Structure 1
Amino acid sequence: MQVTQTLSEGLKREFRITVPAGDLDSRVATRLSDLQGKVQIKGFRPGKVPAAHLKRLYGRSVFGEVLQEVMTEANQKIVEDNKIKLAGQPKVSLPEEQAEIEGVAAGKNDLAYTVEVEVLPEITVGDLKTIKVERLVTDISDEQVDEMLARIAEQNATFEPKDGAAETGDQITIDFVGSIDGTPFEGGAGNDHPLVLGSGQFIPGFEEQLVGAKAGDEKTVTVSFPEDYRATELAGKDAAFAVTVKGIASSQNAKADDELATKLGMESLDKLKDAVREQIGNQQKQASRQKLKRALLDALDSTHSFDLPPSLVEQEFAGIWTQVEREIAQGGDAAKEGKSEDELKAEYRTIAERRVRLGLLLAEIGEKADIQVTNDEVTRAVVERARQFPGQEQQVWEFYQKTPEALAELRAPIFEEKVIDHIVELADVSDKTVTREELFADAESEEV
């Protein structure tokens, strides 16, 4: 087998592969010889089938197997001899002329074909110790704990029927029919719907107009749908709801006390407070970690530049753009930016390039630091994923055991977080105390 490089342009390489006809014929003959002692053909004793007859029956399928074997060996030789890392699957271009193909299959002609590959760039990692970032931290106040306890108490309160007018915090039971310009709209009606006034369950202005209503009242509630309403056909439009109040109930036992703690499986209110404080702390640690990770990635992105494999960028961009198109169709944020499709594509292509650059960089850092993801870590991730599908745990487990690609998708974020931990250990990280509002600002829009 002869492998000759014919092109080196950026990250693109092209090779010419030539396999002598004798080599192919020898491989085919060896495989047919192996078959001779295994196959059973009517009219012949085991192991006595003539080679020529076997070749007529199985020659094409055996040649296909040999061809696949040869291409796999050639790809390995390309990688090993040239000491390159592939960015994707090689693109193989086999002969197209039927006469040439038949000549190769018949063992008369040498096999000659081309292989195009895209290689990963050589990445020089900067000194990670020079990275300076701040880790945002915040204290847990007693007020935060009390606020969460109050919400928990409200969520676990019972409601008892009451006479008189409805007040904020009461639960009313209503029938309603919504219409726009006198025409009812889809999804705008409901019967026996429980609604806690002040909960914000309905669009702004709806619940406030029912404060003071009594059981049996029929009211018309007029509201305007928000401009960014998820149902774009309703966004910004005025609507009228015919509402019948069928019952009113007041909240009972909405207190944070030992009784609530016992109801939730805690020994006492103090134990419940400890659990709430721990939960708040975990939320803040997660937000702090996300902010720190973003800062580290920003620093890495701004200090490293190298060629990106076009195929990886295109693949990443395609995934992003599919999501953007879905959001545009649903009237999401992407549809309200007032930008042309070309402007949006340019913007999201930059995001795709950033993601590919950082992915390659983190992989290089992890490889140089010999960071490994253990089987136990992957197993725990599979177990955690299975728990998200109650009653289907066994099916989820079997799916991951049979699907290496799915396991790789679980392994990747574990590896990334371990690399981030490694960078944190080396970088100059200082803590900065901020308010809770600052810590959680723009949490949903964090693009790492």
Structure 2
Amino acid sequence: MNVELIELSPCKKQLRVKLDVEEVDQAFDRVTGQFRKQANLPGFRKGKAPREKVEAEFKDKIEEEVKQQLMSDAYRRAMDEQGLKPVTNPDIEEIQFGRGQTLEFMATIETAPEFELPEYKGLPGKRERVEISDNDVEKAINALRDQRGQYENVEREIQDGDFAVVNYTGTSEGKALTEYAPTARGLTEQNKYWLHVHAEAKDDHFIPGFTAQLVGAKAGDKRDVKVDFPEDFVAKELAGRKGEYAVEVVEVKEKKLPDLDDEFAKGWGTESLDKLREGVRADLENDRKNKAESDVRAQVLEVLIDKCDLKDLPDSVVGAETRGMVYNIVQQNQQRGVGKDEIERNKEQIYATANMAAQDRVKAAFIVQRIAKEENIEATQEEIAGHLSMLAQQNKMDVQEFYKKVQENDGMHEIVNAVLHDKVVGFLVENAKIEEVDPAPPAEEAHSHSHSHG
């Protein structure tokens, strides 16, 4: 066998493979013999038909089987001979094949990148100390209290903090808003729509200054509301425009919160308010510990990726990862209510963001594989089973059913890599130089232009 290696790029190779006539003919003889043993031809007992009749009857099938066996075996031997480890299936192009001829074919493959692994022990990282204050606990308790609030109709004027149920129609310069923004139907007209009233325009979750103009109105009243759509408004076609709304107040509602007492605590499965506070504190502590650990893992991996001189990556691997991330970004946008038109307008930015993230993920995967090999880190059967069980639970599926689905989609390799990734990153954190730091002050909650009260 003769193998010629052509390097198309650092991660893309082409092999030209040539098998001698003798090897090809031997394969034809061997496969023909196998077919003869199984052949049931008229006038002959099974396996006793003359070779030439078997060759004539099964000519195409014999050729296909010979080709498949020879190419598969020659490809494997060529990989071993050249010391190549492909990361994708080969693209095979047949050049010549037939009895009495040499077999020649070209295989184009992508391979793992070659790179020098930097020092991966002693990587720097910062872990926030977990401190749960009484104020943190009270904020969480009040959030639980808010979840159990009841909306009650009130026969009075709207006050700051009330909920107004309204019908409205919106225009700009006398034209329906949908003439400027076709997808903004919900901003143009609504019936029995809930709005949380804020006397301060900056606090308005709908359109800044909209609900402040409803203060003082009662059920049955009509108001003309004028607004300035902000420059960063979610419907970009309306950004910077002036709007006019004809609003009818249908109902005025006040949110009544339950008393903070033992009875309230029992509704959350605890015997007393003190016990509820203890449970909330423990939950907050656990959540923050998990977040702090997750942040450290991300930091250490980011530092390692930056230290590693890994510029060349297999195009098809990055491409597949990018497509998956584009799909996730689009789904997230759709779940946030972003319209198809806006997603289409931003598709280049979405692709660029996905591609950058995909490159980092692919780099991390190759680095993790190398470290796993260096440190003899392997995924055990118990760990793989545990990961499968966790994923099955997340997908609300029976473990066996989920395992079958993974196998059908040829996804076990992905499961093993996920376990390996988790173990290697854990190893990096164990061997990192982690500095304990004070927690960062909580970021002020940003207001989003959501269109429902939730």
Task: Tell me what 2:237 maps to.
Answer: 233
1:125-165 per-residue CA deviation (whole Å, 9 max, x = no partner) reads 33333422222334111111111211221121112222212
The answer for the alignment partner of 2:146 in structure 1 is: 154
> Does the Cα contact within 8 Å between 2:124 and 2:433 map onto a contact in 1?
yes
**2:426 corresponds to which residue?**
421
CA pair 200-55 structure 1, distance change in 2 beyond 3 A: farther
Q: Could you give the per-residue CA deviations for residues 290-312 of structure 1, whole angstroms, max 9, x where no partner exists?
A: 43233213321332214523425
Provide TM-score, normalisation by structure 1: 0.80
Please report how far the alpha carbon of residue 111 of structure 1 lies from its aligned counterpart in structure 2 after TM superposition.
0.6
CA apart distance, 1:359: 2.6
SS at match of 2:152: strand
Q: Tell me what 1:142 maps to.
A: 134
Tell me if 1:54 matches 2:71: no
- Deviation of 1:333 (Å): 13
Residues 33-432 of structure 1 aligned to structure 2 (within 5 Å): 33-38=33-38, 40=40, 45-95=45-95, 101=96, 104-105=97-98, 107-184=99-176, 185=178, 186-188=185-187, 189-198=189-198, 201-306=205-310, 308-311=312-315, 315=319, 318-319=322-323, 331=342, 353-389=359-395, 396=402, 398-405=404-411, 407-432=412-437
| C-alpha separation in 1, matches of 2:248 and 2:444 | 44
Query: Displacement, 1:423?
Result: 0.4
Gapped runs of 5+ residues in structure 2?
A: 179-184, 447-454
Q: What is the distance in 1 between the residues matched to 2:399 and 2:283?
A: 27
Structure 1 residue 440, shift from structure 2 partner: 11
CA–CA distance in 1 between the matches of 2:113 and 2:355? 19
The 3 A distance-change label for structure 1 pair 73 and 249 is: same
Q: Residues 205 and 111 from structure 1, CA distance in 2 versus in 1: closer, same or farther, beyond 3 angstroms?
A: same
Question: 3-state SS of the aligned residue for 2:236?
Answer: coil
Output the CA distance in 2 between the equivalents of 1:310 and 1:174.
56
Task: Measure how far apart 1:215 and its partner are.
Answer: 1.2
CA distance in 2, matches of 1:425, 1:3: 45
Pair 1:228–1:384, CA change in 2 (3 A): farther
Q: Identity percentage over the alignment?
A: 25
Change over 3 Å in CA distance of 1:391–1:121 after alignment to 2: closer
Report how many residues are paired. Answer: 427
Q: 1:210 to 1:381 in 2, by over 3 A?
A: farther
* CA pair 306-150 structure 1, distance change in 2 beyond 3 A: closer
Equivalence for 2:451: none
Provide Cα deviations, 1:247-282, integer angstroms capped at 9, x if missing partner: 223222334332222223333223322332233234
Are residues 234 and 274 of structure 1, via their aligned partners in 2, closer, same or farther at CA, if it must alter by over 3 Å?
farther
Cα drift, residue 422 of structure 1: 0.3
Instruction: Provide the residue aligned with 1:444 in structure 2.
Output: none
* 1:436 CA drift (Å): 4.0
Q: CA deviation at 1:428?
A: 1.2
Deviation at 1:353, TM superposition (A): 4.5
Q: What is the distance in 1 between the residues matched to 2:416 and 2:190?
A: 45
Q: Shift in Å at residue 18 of structure 1?
A: 1.8
Q: Distance in 1 between matches of 2:354 and 2:256?
A: 51
Quote the Cα distance in structure 1 between the aligned partners of 2:329 and 2:120.
Answer: 38
Q: Distance in 2 between matches of 1:429 and 1:29?
A: 66
**Worse-superposed segment, 294-303 or 156-165:** 294-303
Letter in 1 for 2:125: V
TM-score (norm 2): 0.79
Q: What are the Cα deviations for residues 29-56 of structure 1, in whole angstroms up to 9, with x where unaligned? A: 4334333444555665433444334333
Show the counterpart of 1:27: 27
Q: In structure 1, what is the Cα distance between the partners aligned to 2:228 and 2:120?
A: 53
Which consecutive unaligned segments of at least 5 residues does structure 1 have?
Answer: 96-100, 442-448
Q: Distance in 1 between matches of 2:395 and 2:379?
A: 24
CA distance in 1 between counterparts of 2:370 and 2:79 reads 18
State which drifts further: 109-118 or 149-158.
109-118
Distance 2:156 2:388 in 1: 54
Deviation at 1:90, TM superposition (A): 3.1
Partner of 1:16: 16
Per the TM alignment, residue 400 of structure 1 is displaced from its structure 2 partner at its CA by: 1.7
- Aligned-pair CA distance for 1:366: 1.9
Matched-pair contact (CA < 8 Å) for 1:130–1:427: yes
Rounded to whole Å, the distance in 2 between the matches of 1:60 and 1:6 is: 32
- Report how far residue 110 of structure 1 moved: 0.8
Shift in Å, 1:13: 4.1
1:387/1:8 Cα in 2 relative to 1: closer, same or farther (>3 Å)? Answer: closer
Greater alpha carbon shift after TM alignment, 358-367 vs 218-227: 218-227
